[in-house]
Structure 1
Amino acid sequence: MSFRSALFAASAFIAATNAHITISNPVPYSADQVKIDKAAITADQFPCKSQYGFKVTQMNSMKVGEPQKLEFDGSAVHGGGSCQLSYTTDTEPTKDSVFKVIKSIEGGCPGVDGTKSFEYTLPDSIPNGHGTFVWSWMAKMSGAPEFYMNCAPIDVTGGASDASGLNALPDMFIANIASTTCTSPLNHAVKFPNPGENLEDGGTNDVEDPTGDCGAKGSTPATPSSGAPVESSPVVSAPASAPVQTAPAASATAAPVQSTLATIATSAPAASAPVASAPIASVPVASSPVSATIPSGTAPANSGSGSETGGSTGGSTGSPGSCSSDGAIVCNGADQFGICNGGSVVWQAVAHGTTCSNGNIQKRTMYYARPALHARRI
């Protein structure tokens, strides 16, 4: 790799990592690594960016009932979203740890135009001793549903002598990283199914219920396995008086697509008399994750966008560009977006089934053209 290529790769990595959020107070585990890697977590990193371990950079002392400050490092708030503050008695949490909610914030977290600090107190149900404080976040506008999670070591005083009261609190809501269909809503702050008694309204009027198999606490991340077969999405058939031409089967993909109704034209078999029209069959597109097959030689149209700069429009990433509004979503055509950070932006592909337009990630509308029908001459 040339020096120029290495420098570009390093610059792109720094811009991408800085374009996210992490907690700075309380000080998280393995703070040096977490401060650099501000990205959302994946299922194999759950919980707490566990790939960096649980090094106690600084023990955070907290007394039950006393006001505490939640503060952040980073610039891109993705339009806000919803956050939860939780606690577990485990000092090195695992996938089997139980995280109990002590406060929920619906909308405007960790900020809208930039990060802001939040106040919270530990309830008297938390037992004395060492444990783990948890901040989780589902962003409003992040291109695709994501789950952010930071954890910090805390030493609790003035609390309970046992965990009976803690166990009565609701479980932390988890979405967007599991093998189930539970996802946070696109371009909205998620409304928690069970936020607990300590709920703060962010006042953004953009809260919406999650979708899929969420239940009261969302989904549980599955342990990733290699070589596992991927089930194909079911093909939905529709009744019609004339035969329906078979469409290519859809293949499974990681990004969920919202259910929509597509109108497909069907053609009737040839007859001795002129055919005036053919029946139309309405076929619902399956709401499970699908990826439509595009015929060879065709490419999706590149519509106008709210992009502040030009660049490559294909692939998962492109050359960095310039921008003016830190924290804002910037479109590069319909198929790429980036987060403005310090006057620069690194392009990445939008999630399947979505498009970038005027600084917003939106669902892509699917159209099927009705074929021309001709009468057969006798």
Structure 2
Amino acid sequence: MRFSTATLAVAALVAGASAHMNMASPPPLKYKGNPNAKTIDSDITSPNVPSTFPCKGALDVFDSAEGASVATWAPGSQQTVKIEGGANHGGGSCQISLSYDSGSTWTAIYSKQGNCPVDTNLAFTVPSDAPTGDKVLLGWTWINHTGNREFYMNCASITIAGSSSKREEIESAAKPAKRETAFSSRPAMFVANLEGKSDYCVKEGVDVLYPEPGPDVDTVGSSGGPPVNCDTGAAVTGSTGSGSGSGSGSSASATATAATSAVATTTAAATSSAAAATSAIATASVSIPGGVFVTSPSGGASSTAAQTTQQTTLQTKTTVISVPTSAAATKTSSAAPATGSGGAVSGSQTGACSDEGSWSCLSGGSSFQRCASGQWSAVVPMAAGTSCTPGTSDTLSIARRAMARPIRRSLTSWSM
């Protein structure tokens, strides 16, 4: 059965008769709670129709003073989108998406399937490789569970910049490790119930299970079901396309490289600045299940960009260590910048490997590799001021070099 334009139009008119739901934080464009808004949408809780999609017709103020950023989020940071309103239609499914080209293309970064927005706080993590920019659109979309077949969407202007806080790094370390997904490989925002904008419809009484929810997804309840083709009623399976596009404008072009890289930082690198500040001598015994390693990219990546993300549990004890004042003790080891030449590093391993998850610290202790997905990774330099114990084993022992004077130091071990 085809959902006609007339049917959807009537549904929108009926929906407008009562309050529904809208994004409240960060405050969307044309929202009464947005400090930059002069043009107020008094019907912001109503669903989108084809003529107001995307962002419920609010993009006409995005490039004006009314479209100034209302929040700054760091890649890798934990964030919460808050929803308000009086008619949640029994829940449904929601997505959080980002657009770097003024709303032309959207990349889904979080999906909640079921109970949304009955639970009005959507907590998620911004992808660690999300491109930076000061003209980024954040989109909240909702496909309701009961009532008229609708599609809701509000958009806020935000900035993606900076880095996540130390507290967020520690909290993230306590979570199970998982393979990072490149921002450019995340799925497109899913659209349904909008004739002319999508071929997909969602039946009443169903919490839509997105064909491609992405790696960050929460599923609640037992009412989940697939979308259907609006013409045939057949369940939709398979890919709905990648969400990333070439984009336009200075913000998008300045971050094109970041958008195509699934790169993060090792725990050692992420904590190097803090360790330097406290002059810590640390020895880390790292044991991580195979398959969570992300190999470093080739090309013009910097040495800090050619690291890997590992989840850690932080345990700290303090003692007093007397450090020799000899010249040898002051010598530090720094990693050579990664290059795109592809040349082999002395002692490095190449090709297939059988001991999945094992580590190989190269001679000299200034770089390492890992056996991941049956192949040895590219050589990754150690963070400045650290070295590993040469050899191949199930653990990677990392030692931080000492300062050349007696000092109270914090011995910190990371057990992964």
- State the TM bucket, normalised to the shorter chain: 0.3 to 0.5
Tell me the TM-score normalized by structure 1. 0.47
| Higher helix fraction (1 or 2) | 2
Tell me the TM-score normalized by structure 2. 0.43
